[in-house]
Chains A and B, each alone.
Chain A
Amino acid sequence: MKRLSPRIIGNLIGLAVTQVCRHPLRTGLTVIGVACGLFLFTMVEAMHRGLERATAANPEDRRLIVFREGRFCPNTSRLPERYGGDIARVPGVARVLPTLVVVSSCATGMDVVTFRGVPPADVASTLADPTSLAAWRERSDAVLVGPALAQRRGLRPGTVFEAAGVRATVAGLLTSDEVQYQNVAIAHLDTLQRLARSVGTVTQFDVVVADPATVDAVASAIDAVFAHETEPTRTSAEKAFVAQAAGEVLGLVAFARWVGLAAAAAVLVVVANTVLIAVRSRVQELAILAVIGYDSVAVAILVMAEGLILGLVGGVLGVAAAAVTLYVGGFSLTSEGFSVVFALDAGLIASALTITLLLGLLASVVPAWQAARRPVVAALRGG
């Protein structure tokens, strides 16, 4: 045999592909096993990444949430709408958005609908396309829905739906990338106040500060203004607030990550077992290859290529299945009105495929080493 060249390595990989394809039952079962493991791993990691996106603080964050002190569920937080003017006068505050939040359930769930009532004039033009925004402003019962909610509930412009006692017509879809706009329905504040019998009150104020460095100071200043009111406030950075509100989700995701890791470990075992069985059932075949001139490196490449192919094909199928499921399902976990939208991005896809490749490689190292080191004469006798 010549020294290994790219062409020879390509030939050996081609031979491994042929071997894998000519054992359809074994290959099929292994690929399905790997795909199931990677599907589970990807789903759990998508949930984890969604949680990170919703809660990981960034030095550039400028958003605050002003909530009723001692309350955690939007259904119980009630603040006078007039607080908005006082908050706007606090030094460092750039913008105040009074918001009434109505949720179909305060418990943690995967199909919670969150209505956020805001003054129509205050909705940023960047949240939706101009046509949808104009249609929404024209009708008091209209809502703009986030893409995850729309996908999950099959909502399109013109669709009428009902949740949490609110009947609404979809005017358009929200186009914002911000996490908290993915799973909500933006409604007119006065309409929602009337339906929720909360005229004159809101759940919270969404505040934007002028300078990110002053977030903590502005939060303290806002709470100081209302400290002696009958409805005192608790002001936090938005992501810290979400992290606190979604405490149950945090625990759930932390547990689920272990399940994801267990799935990855199962993939390792499945591939290792298959490659090991393949190598042991082909002792004579590998010995014949050795007689023909396949040295231990060539045999190891063949065996490891099989593991890599099985891992990669199963991984691609598992990740693709997860991507389709996440897209079609529009999954999100909502707790106390705040949503964690499952996030499958290019980084997660690359990580999942890298993991499956590494697992395939790792799983075939021992079988490859065994196959490469077996004495030819003994192996020819079937030993």
Chain B
Amino acid sequence: MIRADKPLAPAGADSGPRTQDPGLLICARGIAKVYRRGSTEVVPLDDLDLDVPRGQFLALMGPSGSGKTTLLNLLAGIDQPSRGSLHVAGTEIGQLSRSRLTRWRADTVGYIFQLYHLLPVLTAWENVELPLLLHPLSASDRARRVGLALDLVGLSGRGDHFPRQLSGGQEQRVAIARAIVADPPLLVADEPTGDLDREAAAQILALLRQLVVEQNKTVVMVTHDPRAATAADRVLHLEKGRLIETALAAGSGAS
């Protein structure tokens, strides 16, 4: 278990206004995202509602340009909605200042990228340790947590390897260890298997599934791959900025 003796910070603590619904980790109402590109207004998401209960593995699918990554960025607090309310882990994050949003992210969200995005000059251990450097933990506490995280992703013997010395699947597992090391309630993954072969992809999906089942993490995953989506409890399709619920495939992760 990566879960620490006590959480580094209760989700939403010291981060802003709280919602009252404890069953939902994510509650979006009428959110929209509007960009201006020159004189053109681009609306990748419009009037979108979404509820995600705690401990659910949600897959977001849809064609390119449908707004999947935009929605993921909003849920992860990397970006903010232009309209609507967005409560995540008990906090209305749409109104937070940039610095409070960043602090909230550190406590609440673990982000897994398609291309892993490990820092190349740091070892696997140091990459996993990065989120913990923002917490006033002792070196031994940090070491214990990093060790647990690497152990959980099956890379306890690779801590001193640099990213260039790891396979794609191993890099992604290090990225997952980095995402979970601070014990956030929400993991967001942007096509986490998009750059992996089938076997490595299956291992990553199994790992995400394990985090949901064993640690009650809430996972929101963007994917193009229908096979990957079967690992999820629930699949939503984004079409032209709107969400459409999809029936689960047989043998999905929920079954």
Cα-based distance from A233 to B218 in the complex (angstroms):
98
In the complex, what residues of A have CB within 8 A of residue B126's CB? 18
The residues in A between 1 and 38 inclusive whose CB is less than 8 angstroms from any CB of B are 1-2, 5, 7-8, 11-12, 14-15, 18-19, 22-23
Q: Given the interface contacts A22-B121, A22-B122, A377-B78, does A7 sit within 8 Å of B103 by beta carbon?
A: no
Interface check A213, CB cutoff 8 A? no
Cα-based distance from A2 to B113 in the complex (angstroms):
24
Cα-based distance from A19 to B127 in the complex (angstroms):
12
Interface check A295, CB cutoff 8 A? yes
Interface segment, one of B133-141, B166-174, B242-250: B133-141
Interface check A134, CB cutoff 8 A? no
Point out the residue from B99, B119, B130 that lies within 8 Å of A295, measured CB to CB. Answer: B99
Interface check B68, CB cutoff 8 A? no
Cα-based distance from A66 to B116 in the complex (angstroms):
82
Cα-based distance from A238 to B206 in the complex (angstroms):
88
B121 touches A23 (CB 8 A): yes
A selection of 22 A-B contacts at a CB cut-off of 8 Å is: A1-B102, A1-B103, A7-B137, A11-B133, A11-B134, A15-B130, A15-B133, A18-B121, A18-B126, A23-B121, A285-B119, A290-B102, A291-B105, A291-B111, A292-B130, A292-B134, A292-B178, A293-B103, A293-B105, A293-B182, A298-B134, A377-B73
The residues in B between 46 and 94 inclusive whose CB is less than 8 angstroms from any CB of A are 73, 76, 78-79
B134 touches A288 (CB 8 A): no
**A188 to B: closest C-beta gap in Å:** 68
Q: Given the interface contacts A2-B9, A18-B126, does A376 sit within 8 Å of B135 by beta carbon?
A: no
Interface check B161, CB cutoff 8 A? no
A8 touches B134 (CB 8 A): yes
B99 touches A297 (CB 8 A): yes
Name the CB-closest residue of B to A19. Answer: B121
Cα-based distance from A294 to B99 in the complex (angstroms):
9
Point out the residue from A18, A289, A293 that lies within 8 Å of B107, measured CB to CB. Answer: A293
B106 touches A292 (CB 8 A): yes
Name the CB-closest residue of A to B106. Answer: A293
Interface check B253, CB cutoff 8 A? no
**B45 to A: closest C-beta gap in Å:** 14
A294 touches B102 (CB 8 A): yes
Closest 9 interchain pairs by CB? A293-B106, A22-B121, A11-B133, A295-B102, A1-B134, A1-B106, A7-B136, A1-B103, A288-B117
The residues in A between 292 and 313 inclusive whose CB is less than 8 angstroms from any CB of B are 292-298
Give the interface centre of B76, B130, B178 by most chain A CB atoms within 10 Å.
B130
0 or 1 for each of A356-383: is its CB under 8 Å from B? (1 = yes):
0000000000000000000011001000
Cα-based distance from A18 to B136 in the complex (angstroms):
19
Chain B, interface size category, equals: 20 to 34
Point out the residue from A5, A288, A293 that lies within 8 Å of B119, measured CB to CB. Answer: A288
Interface check B131, CB cutoff 8 A? yes
In the complex, what residues of B have CB within 8 A of residue A23's CB? 121
Interface check A284, CB cutoff 8 A? yes
**A172 to B: closest C-beta gap in Å:** 56
A296 touches B130 (CB 8 A): no
Known: A1-B106, A1-B135, A294-B102. 10 other contacts (CB 8 A): A15-B133, A18-B121, A291-B78, A292-B111, A293-B106, A295-B99, A295-B103, A297-B99, A298-B134, A377-B73
A296 touches B134 (CB 8 A): no
Q: Given the interface contacts A22-B122, A291-B111, does A377 sit within 8 Å of B133 by beta carbon?
A: no
Q: Given the interface contacts A18-B126, A19-B121, A377-B73, does A293 sit within 8 Å of B78 by beta carbon?
A: no
In the complex, what residues of B have CB within 8 A of residue A2's CB? 9, 103, 134-136
B121 touches A12 (CB 8 A): no
Interface check B98, CB cutoff 8 A? yes
Cα-based distance from A295 to B126 in the complex (angstroms):
19
Name the CB-closest residue of B to A297. Answer: B99
In the complex, what residues of A have CB within 8 A of residue B121's CB? 18-19, 22-23
**B195 to A: closest C-beta gap in Å:** 15
Name the CB-closest residue of A to B73. Answer: A377
B102 touches A293 (CB 8 A): yes
Q: Given the interface contacts A295-B103, A377-B79, does A289 sit within 8 Å of B130 by beta carbon?
A: yes
B133 touches A8 (CB 8 A): yes
In the complex, what residues of B have CB within 8 A of residue A284's CB? 117
In the complex, what residues of B have CB within 8 A of residue A377's CB? 73, 78-79
Give the interface centre of B9, B78, B99, B133 by most chain A CB atoms within 10 Å.
B133
